[in-house]
Amino acid sequence: MEHRISKKLIRKVPYFDRMLSHDLLESKENKVKLDFDERALKLILISLEFGLIFIEMDNVINLCTIADYFGVNNYLIDDCISHFHDNFSIEHLPVVIPQVTATSKLINSRALNVFIRRYFTKIVNTTAWLDYPIETIEFVCALDLMIYSEVQVFDAIIRWIKLKKNPRKSFLKRLLKLIRWCHLKCKDLAEIKKNKYVKSLKFEPKLCSRDKSGCDCSIDRTKQNFFIIIDQLDAANLRVKVLNRYFVPLVNKVVEPDDSMPLHLVHNEHVSDIFDSGRNIIRIDWKQKKYRLLDYKSHYRKIHKCLFGDQKSGAHSKILLPVESSCYEDCWTINSLLEANDKFILVRSHADCFQCWTTPTTEQIDSHFIDCGHTSLATVLNDNIYLLKHNFEFYQINVDSKPKLGWMTVDRLKDFNFGNLLLTSSQANGDKVFIIEKTTRTLFCYNVKTEKWSSIGRISDCDNRSADQRDRSDRLLTFTSTFISMDTIVL
pLDDT in tens, the chain (491 residues): 888 888 888 888 888 888 887 776 666 677 788 888 899 999 998 888 898 999 999 999 999 999 999 998 788 999 999 999 999 999 999 999 999 999 999 999 999 999 999 999 999 999 999 999 999 999 999 999 999 999 999 999 999 999 998 899 999 999 999 999 989 988 999 899 888 888 888 777 777 655 555 566 678 999 999 999 999 998 899 999 999 999 999 999 999 999 999 999 999 999 999 988 777 899 999 999 999 999 888 999 999 999 988 665 554 455 565 554 444 444 445 678 888 888 888 888 766 677 888 888 888 888 877 765 556 888 998 888 898 888 888 888 887 656 566 778 888 888 899 889 999 998 777 789 999 999 999 999 999 888 889 999 998 877 655 544 444 444 899 999 999 988 888 65
Which residues, other chains included, contact 129 with Cβ-Cβ below 8 Å and sequence gap of 6+?
90, 123, 156, 159, 160
In eight-state DSSP terms, residue 246 is T
| Domain boundary assignment for the chain | 1-87, 106-223, 246-488
Amino acid at 270: H
Given the DSSP bridges, would you call strands 249-257 and 290-294 parallel, antiparallel or unpaired? parallel
Q: What pLDDT, on a 0 to 100 scale, did the predictor assign at position 213?
A: 56
Our CA angle for 421, 423, 427, nearest 5°, is: 155
For residue 182, report the phi and psi dihedrals to the nearest 5 degrees. -70, -10
Q: What pLDDT, on a 0 to 100 scale, did the predictor assign at position 326?
A: 42
Q: Are 450 and 396 in contact (CB under 8 A)?
A: no
Amino acid at 382: N
In eight-state DSSP terms, residue 74 is H
pLDDT tens digits for 420-473?
A: 999 999 877 778 999 999 999 999 999 988 888 999 999 887 765 554 444 444
Q: What pLDDT, on a 0 to 100 scale, did the predictor assign at position 85?
A: 95
Alpha-carbon distance of 289 to 101, in angstroms, equals 26
Which residues, other chains included, contact 438 with Cβ-Cβ below 8 Å and sequence gap of 6+?
420, 421, 422, 474, 476
Q: What CATH code would you report for 106-223?
A: 1.25.40.420
Closest CA to 283 of 296, 269, 272: 272
Is the C-alpha dihedral spanning 45, 51, 54, 58 positive or negative?
positive
Q: What pLDDT, on a 0 to 100 scale, did the predictor assign at position 403?
A: 59
SS (HEC) of 169-186: HHHHHHHHCCCCHHHCCH
Residue 220, class by beta-carbon neighbours within 10 Å (0-12 exposed, 13-18 middle, 19+ buried)?
A: middle
Q: Are 327 and 391 in contact (CB under 8 A)?
A: yes
Alpha-carbon distance of 472 to 77, in angstroms, equals 50
Q: Is 53 left (phi over 0), alpha (psi -120 to 50) or beta?
A: beta
CA dihedral 185, 186, 189, 193 (to 10 degrees): -170
In eight-state DSSP terms, residue 473 is P
Q: What pLDDT, on a 0 to 100 scale, did the predictor assign at position 80?
A: 95
Alpha-carbon distance of 349 to 181, in angstroms, equals 42
In eight-state DSSP terms, residue 148 is S
Q: Are 375 and 332 in contact (CB under 8 A)?
A: no
Q: What pLDDT, on a 0 to 100 scale, did the predictor assign at position 468?
A: 45
Q: At what angle do helices 109-123 and 151-163 cross, to 10 degrees?
A: 80
Of 3.90.1150.10, 3.30.710.10, 3.30.360.10, 3.20.20.140, which CATH number belongs to 1-87?
3.30.710.10
pTM: 0.89
Q: Are 485 and 224 in contact (CB under 8 A)?
A: yes
Alpha-carbon distance of 12 to 23, in angstroms, equals 18
